Amino acid sequence: MKNSNAWVFLFAGIFAMWFCFSLRLPPFIFIIIAIFAFMIGASEAKAEQQSQYEVPYKPYPSGPPVVASAATAPVELPEHKMSVSVPADLKCPSCGASIKPTDTKCAFCGSSLRPLIDLPQPANLASLEIGTTTRVSYEQFTDAQYLIRGRLLYTELWQASRGADVPWTPTGNHFTGFVLDQDAYLLNWQSRFYILTKRLALSDTDINRDFLPSAKQFAQSNQTANVEFSYSGLRWHIVDIGRFAIESVEGEGAHLSQGAIGRFIHASSGDLALIIEDFQSGGSGGQDTLWQGYLIKESNIHS
């Protein structure tokens, strides 16, 4: 019973009783007024209760109803860091050289700086810097030189146990993705390293049709089953699925924004890698994307 006329009438009833009483009107008059007001109030309240039951449930025209599961469980993130916006153009107060908001020391003059943002340290590839080039070898004979344009810091999320009411929270692990020129992306996740060279925007329909059934099967086996699916003429083996939040975005060219929360599927076909990034529709900060590229070793990445 909220935002309703019912309260107005109920209070009017109480007020009428007090009013008549204080004016010493004959008792039958105030009893009639009060009963009248209470009856309207009660019927308003009843009407509203009924409308509350009638409105919300609208079954989706086709397909099964949405079942509460780990996939729909809430995500709980520490509040302090996710809302930081990184200034684009910072200068060293001593010498005026360009610095990064995370720098503790000026690379040009060596003076100590108080970092503007205390970003967590990624598990790997901490030495790669925006604005420098990196050489990545893959596919036995390919050796490509890339300019690092941007850096995304991922927060790994997990659920203590599977279920719709178990929130997803940070594991404490952070991994990095590097935006490279030539539309490439270098990604580390746990002990895996990927150079991704092909990118495709996906729709929810694409994901539900091509990848979700296999991902569900993999999830239900606690990620132990050998689950394969066909895509683009190849058989892909699911390696990992999970959730992430984007902790920070630095530099330029990033395909995700800070605070984006998504799910991923990592699959492989030999040395080939396929990565799905899936975001809830309704603007959680990212475009559903399929990446294709290669699984490489950390030693294939040269700063």
Interface residues with Zn ion (CB under 5 A)? 92, 94-95, 97, 106, 108-109
Smallest gap from residue 110 Cβ to Zn ion (A):
7
* CB half-sphere exposure, 150, CA atoms < 13 A: 20
Nearer to Zn ion, 31 or 97 (CB): 97
Nearer to Zn ion, 83 or 112 (CB): 112
Smallest gap from residue 150 Cβ to Zn ion (A):
23
Nearer to Zn ion, 79 or 89 (CB): 89
Smallest gap from residue 87 Cβ to Zn ion (A):
16
Nearer to Zn ion, 35 or 109 (CB): 109
Nearer to Zn ion, 109 or 164 (CB): 109
Smallest gap from residue 250 Cβ to Zn ion (A):
19
